[in-house]
Amino acid sequence: MESTRGGRRRLITIYVAVALLALFIGLGMYVRVPYVALGPGPTVNTLGTAAPDDPKSPRVVEVVGAVDPTPTGHLNLTTVSLYDGMSLFSALGKWVSSSYELEPRESYYPSDRSEEEVQQQNVAQMSGSEDDATLAALHHLRLPTAVGVKQIVDKGPAARVLRDGDRVITIGGRKVSSMEEMSKTIDAHRPGEQVDVTFLRDGKEQTAPVTLAKRPDDPARAFLGVTMRSVPADPAKDIKYSVGDIGGPSAGLMLTLSVIDQMTPGDLSHGDFIAGTGTIDPSGEVGEIGGINHKVRAASEAGATAFLVPAGNCSLAKSDAPDGIELLKVGNLDEALNALNSLGTDEQVPHC
C-alpha cells in the first residue's frame, strides 16, 4: 500500500516538474522582454556602391562633376544593430555575450510614439545629416551653395511650378542660397500672399508666381510645399546619397569626407581601410554618438586599421577597443583631415 502511494507521489512529482519545465520553456521562447540588444552593425564604404555585388547599384555618395569620382581605399561609415522583440532566452543569450548590451526598449521606442514615427524620425535625421555633410564639405572647399528641390508636396502651393531637381534662386525677389535663408524668406510672408519664385531648370532660369498656403503644423506661417536640400551653386555639380535603410545622424562625418575625397585630387584614405563615425554640422564640428564600442568592434572585424572617433566618445572607445585598430581623436572636420593626412608619416596624430 505504502509502495503504491509512494509511486503515485513520485509520478505526480515528475508530472509537476515536467509541467513546470514546459512552462519555463514556453515563457523563455515566447514571452517578449521589454529590452533591446545593441551590437556591432554593418559598415558601409562611402567611396563604393550601395550594393557592392551589384554593378548597377548606385554609389553611396555620388558627386556629379567630381574631380576624382572613383577614389580608392575605404572611408566606412559604421552602424549599430538593434535587436527588438526578443524572447527571454534570446535576451539571456545576448546578455551573456560580450558582443551585445541590453537597454530598456523605452529608450529607443518611447511609449508616446509608434514604431512608424520612430522610423520616420530616424529617416529625417539621416536626411538632415546628408544635408549637413554637403554644407560642411562645400564650406570647407569654399564653394558657394544653393537650394535644390528634393520633393514636392502633393497638391501643395508649388506643385504646378517646381519640380524635383530645380534650384531655387529667389523668392519674392530675395536671393536664397541656403535653406536657412529660404526659411527666413518664406517666414517673412503671410499665408495667401503671392510671391514670384525664380528657379533654374535644365540650365534655364524661369520665374513663376506661387500663392503661399498655411503651414499644416502652424496656420499662422506661410507654406511653399517643398522639401529642400543643399546643393552646389554650380549647376554642373550635384551631390547625391544612397545609404539604404540606415537611419540617424551619426554618418555625417564619413559622408562629408567622401564628398571632399571626390571633389579633390588624391585619396584621403591613401589606400588604407579607414572607418569612423560622428555627427557633423555645417561649420564642420564633429559631435559624439551612441554605441561607439560596437562601431569600433564592427570596423575592426571588417578589416579597418584606423577609426575616426569623436572627441566626446574617446573614453568609452578606448576602454573596449580590439587590438590592431588605431583610434584617431577628432573634434572637427579639419582635425579629421589632418589625422588622415598624417597616417603613415612621422607627424603626430591625436589618439584617444
Q: How many helices (H) and strands (E) does the chain have?
A: 8, 18
Determine the Cα–Cα distance for residues 6 and 15; give it in Å rounded to an integer: 14
- Which of 3-17, 83-97, 275-289 shows the lowest mean pLDDT across its residues? 3-17
pLDDT band (50, 70, 90) for residue 59? very high
Task: State residue 117's pLDDT score.
Answer: 82
Which helix (H) or strand (E) segment is 263 a member of? helix 252-263
Residues belonging to the chain: 352
> 22: which residues sit within 8 A by CB, 6+ positions away?
none
Could you give the 3-state DSSP secondary structure of residue 208?
A: strand
In the chain, the largest separation of any two C-alpha atoms, in whole Å, equals 106
- Match 543643399 to its residue by C-alpha cell: 230
Q: Are 31 and 87 in contact (CB under 8 A)?
A: yes
Q: Which CATH class is domain 145-232?
A: mainly beta
| pLDDT tens digits along 220-272 | 999 999 999 999 999 999 999 999 888 888 999 999 999 999 999 989 998 89
Mean pLDDT value of segment 6-14: 62
Which CATH number is 40-79+122-140+238-342 given?
Answer: 3.30.230.10
Determine the Cα–Cα distance for residues 22 and 17; give it in Å rounded to an integer: 9
Which grid coordinates are listed for 25?
A: 520553456
Q: Is 263 exposed, middle or buried (0-12, 13-18, 19+ CB in 10 A)?
A: buried
- Match 532660369 to its residue by C-alpha cell: 205
| pLDDT tens digits along 69-87 | 888 899 999 999 888 887 7
Q: Are 277 and 40 in contact (CB under 8 A)?
A: no
Same fold, 40-79+122-140+238-342 and 145-232: no
Which grid coordinates are listed for 267?
A: 585619396
| pLDDT tens digits along 61-72 | 999 999 988 888
Mean pLDDT value of segment 2-15: 60
Stated pTM of the model: 0.85
Determine the Cα–Cα distance for residues 265 and 64; give it in Å rounded to an integer: 15
| pLDDT tens digits along 101-125 | 888 888 888 888 888 887 888 888 8
Domain parsing of the chain, residue ranges = 2-30, 40-79+122-140+238-342, 145-232
Mean pLDDT value of segment 10-20: 60
| pLDDT tens digits along 124-162 | 888 889 999 999 999 999 999 999 999 999 888 999 999
